[in-house]
Structure 1
C-alpha cells in the first residue's frame, strides 16, 4: 500500500477519515480524499481518479427518508462506476458494504445494488473488486445521531445527560480502525466476505460509558481497559469529552516536608510511567497514537501542550504549571507535543496504558505545526 495511489470516496466522513489516518500512520501514504463536491460532476470525478491505483469506496448515505437512502447509495456507486468507465483502465476497488446488504430494508437494498453495479464495472475493466460487509462501526469522533448509537451515547453521557434505550438488544460492533485495516488489506483482492465484529448489548455500552464518566471525568481515573473492546469504547468516550474536560488539577497534600499529590490511578490492565526533564525552550512529542491512552502530568515548571486532530488544521493549546499540578490526556489520532515555556527545568510524568513494544510502539511521528493534506 505504500507505493500505490489510493483514493477514498467519502474521505472526509467518519470511516473515510479513519482510513486516511491509518494509511498515513501505517504506510506513510497520503490518500486522495474525495468529498461530496467531487461527485457533483462525473467529469471532475474521473479527472480526480485518473492516477489512482486503488479506490476505497466509503461514501454512502446512512440516514434519511427510505427512498433517499436507497437511491442515494445506488447513485453514488453509479457515479463512481461511470467515472471508472471514462478512465477506461483497470482500477482495483474496495467497497465498504454493510451486513444489512442481505436484509430487505432501504439501506440494505441500496448497499446491495450499489455493490452489484460497481462490481460489474470493475470486473468489466479488468480490475479486482473487494466487497466487504461491515457490521455496526464505532470509534473516535463519530457523529452523534448519525454514525451510530455509540457516538450518541458517548456524546450524551460525556455531557452529563442520560440517553434512553427504546429496545435493548445485542448488537455486533467493530471499531472503525479495525474496519479501516480490513479495507486496506483487501486492496487488490477479488472477494466478498463479512467482517466479524464483537457482540455487546446496547445497555452494556451505556453502562460502560456511565462507569467511564464516574471514574474518568469526575476523578481523572483510568477504568479497566484491558479488553480491546473496552479500550476502544473508552477512547470513543474520551474523544467525546475532549477538549472540555482539560486540564484537571489534582489535590495537593502539603506539610512541612513538602507536597504530595496523586498522578494517576488505574483500575486494571498493564501500564507504564516515566519521568522526563525538559530544558527551557525545548519540546517533546510531535507524534500521535492509534490506540494508546497517554497522560502528560506537569510536576514542576511551566509547559504548553499543543494538540491537532490528524488531517486537520486547528491547534488546541493548554498551559500547565507545576505550581498547580495538573494533567491532560492525549486523545487518539491527535498529534501532540509539550514545550517548556518557563525559565527553569520542566519535570513531566508520562503514563501509557500499554507496555512499550519496540516492534509495535503505536507511535507515529508528525509535527503539530505543519500544513496538512487537503
Structure 2
C-alpha cells in the first residue's frame, strides 16, 4: 500500500511515519514544505491512502492561514481528481474550526473542501477536529503548551501562566496514532460528520504546570509519578523526551563504608522503595527483623547466603543466592535475617521494601541470626 503523508516533518507526521513503519508499511510518500511540488503530482497518482497533516498554525502573516490550510488542500484534492484516484483522505483539522478567528476559519474552509469532495466523488474522507496534542518530538512555543512547559522546566526556564484555571483538553500522540491506524484499516471512530480520537484528558493550566514541575523534583526525592493516572503517565513520558541531552543521567547518594555501599534508587508512597546494596567479600549485613516492613532481595552479581531465624526459635534457615541464577527471596516479618557475601567479588543485591524508610518509625530491630 502506498501511503501519502503531507506535513511529514511535523510533530504529528514524524510520529505517524515512525509508527507506520513499525507496523510494516514501508511504501510511504513523504511530502514536506521543502518538497518539490512536482512530487505531489506523482504521489497523488500512485497513493492508496492520504494522511493530509500539512497546515499552518503560527504564520507571520494571517493570510498564510487560508493559503496553507485551504489553498494547499484544494490543490491536493484537485490532483487526486485529475488522476481519478479514489484513495481515502484523512485530514487533521482543529477544535479551533468552531471559532471565528483567522486560524479557525481557515481550518473550517479546509473541512468544507473535504466534505464537498466526498459529495462530488463518493471517496471516503475522514475529518478529525483534534484538540491540543502533546507527546515526543513536539516543538516548544509552537505546537503545544505541554511542549513549552516541558522544555522550560527541564532547563530551569520560567513558565508564564496567565490563567491557571483555564481548562485544557489534551490528546496524546500515541492515542492519535492508534486512531489513525484504525482509519487506515477502514474502521475510524465516527461521531456525526467528524471522526475523533476517543481518548482525551482534561486538566487546568495551573495543575498542568505544577505536575510537570514535580517531574523535575522527582530526581531529588527519588520519587516516581503515579503511573496509574493515564494523563500523568503520558505527560511524564513527554517530559523525559525534552531532557537536555547532557542531562539524561543524575547522581544518587551512595552511603559507603568499609563494608561496601547502600544506595536508594527510587521510592513511591504506594509501592515502596528500591535500593541497591553492595557488600565486600566476607561481609555480613542485616541481622535485624521487622514487625510490618517486608522486603524482597534479588542478587544480581556475586554469591551470597541469606539466613533467617524466627525470633522465638533457634532454627536457622539458609538460602544460597547468586547472580548466575536470578531469583527473588522474600523477607517475611518476624524473622531476623542477614545476607553474607560468600564469594570472592562484590555482592550486588537489589532490595525492595514495601514502605519508604521513615527515620521516626524505622520498624527495624537488631538481633543476630
Report the TM-score when normalising by structure 1.
0.66
2:222 & 2:245 partners in 1: Cα distance?
14
**Matched position secondary structure for 1:104:** coil
String of CA shifts for 1:317-354, please: whole Å, max 9, x gaps.
xxxxxxxxxxxxxxxxxxxxxxxxxxx9xx998x9xxx
Deviation (angstroms), 1:248: 2.2
CA change 1:84–1:267 in 2 (3 A) is farther
2:121 & 2:272 partners in 1: Cα distance?
50
Q: Give the unaligned 5+ runs of structure 2.
A: 276-299, 302-344, 353-369
Deviation (angstroms), 1:267: 5.0
1:269 & 1:75 partners in 2: Cα distance?
54
Stretch moving more, 201-210 or 14-23 = 14-23
Contact 1:123 1:129 in 2 (8 A): no
Deviation (angstroms), 1:226: 1.8
**Matched position secondary structure for 2:265:** coil
1:269 & 1:119 partners in 2: Cα distance?
51
Matches within 5 A, 1:1-374: 4-25=1-22, 27-30=23-26, 31-38=28-35, 40-41=36-37, 43-64=38-59, 65-168=61-164, 169-187=166-184, 188=186, 192-195=194-197, 197-216=200-219, 218=220, 221-266=223-268, 268=270
Q: Extract structure 1 runs of 4+ deviating beyond 4 A.
A: 267-273
Indicate the structure whose relative CO is greater, using CA pairs within 8 Å and at least 6 residues apart: 1
**Matched position secondary structure for 1:262:** strand
2:206 & 2:194 partners in 1: Cα distance?
32
Q: 1:310 is matched with which residue?
A: none
Q: What count of residue pairs does the alignment treat as equivalent?
A: 276
Deviation (angstroms), 1:141: 2.1
Q: Give the unaligned 5+ runs of structure 1.
A: 274-298, 301-343, 352-374
Give me the CA root mean square deviation. Answer: 3.1
**Matched position secondary structure for 1:265:** strand
2:100 & 2:68 partners in 1: Cα distance?
16
String of CA shifts for 1:58-90, please: whole Å, max 9, x gaps.
111111233222332111211211221232221
CA change 1:162–1:192 in 2 (3 A) is same
